[in-house]
Amino acid sequence: MRPRGGTTTVNSTATDATDATDASDPTDATAEKAAPDAPDGPDGVDVSRRRWPRVLGTLLAVALIATGGALYAEGRHLRDTPATANLALTDAEATTRVTGDVSSALGKIFSYGPGATAATRAAAKEVLAGKALQQYAALFGQVERQSADQKLTLTTEVVRAGVTRLTGSSAHLLVFLDQVYERRGRAPTTASAQLTVVAELREGRWWIVEIGST
């Protein structure tokens, strides 16, 4: 009877230990199941770090496109301003040409003598057009009579000419002249004049279309 009773005691003790072990297992299993669902700190940080370069790259691309567009618009605005459209500031060759053509023309039409007014009139028709030619033709008749009556000779020289505005087809100039008047029996007289001139490019030649005094 004792051996059987002793065995019963041992088995009961083992059973109790097993029951105690089994009782603790559900808690451990629940903890293990809950662990995968919990946020993984290091992995979350890595994902954010991987996203930031893409976000920054997109922002930089947008910024570069916006900057490029602004620079293009600003460049076009500068190209279209009146200052840069004035070829007198950028095209030295064209400026020199129109200055030379106008200076030569003024020297011809404002120089004459008692026996040379016909040549002056003919020269005017080769360099003047529009309003300038009409005004010149109306006044030159008086000049011819005075030249013949007073034996008057006029010599005109352009001492300075500046282009204030120049485009591909028109030019505005400010011209300074020295004029020498000679009458028979009198000492020569020198006078200065200042003119504004508008010229137009027609068929490869500069024509004076307006002349004004200042």
Average pLDDT, the chain: 77
Please, which pLDDT band fits residue 55 given cuts at 50, 70 and 90? low
- CA dihedral in degrees (105, 109, 114, 115; nearest 10)? 60
Contact criterion met (CB below 8 Å) for 172 and 98: no
Task: With a cut of 80, say whether residue 46 has pLDDT above it.
Answer: no
For 95, residues 6+ apart whose C-beta sits below 8 A from its C-beta are 87, 88, 163, 166
**pTM as predicted:** 0.61
Most confident of 74-88, 142-156, 176-190: 176-190
Position 148 scores a pLDDT of: 84
Lowest mean pLDDT of 72-86, 134-148, 159-173, 200-214, name the range.
72-86
Q: Read out DSSP for 71-89?
A: HHHHHHHHHTSHHHH-GGG
On the question of pLDDT at 57 being above 90, the answer is: no
CB 129 within 8 A of CB 209: yes
Q: Is the pLDDT of residue 162 over 70?
A: yes
Between the alpha carbon of residue 103 and those of residues 27, 106, 108, 188, 197, the distances in Å are: 109, 5, 9, 23, 10
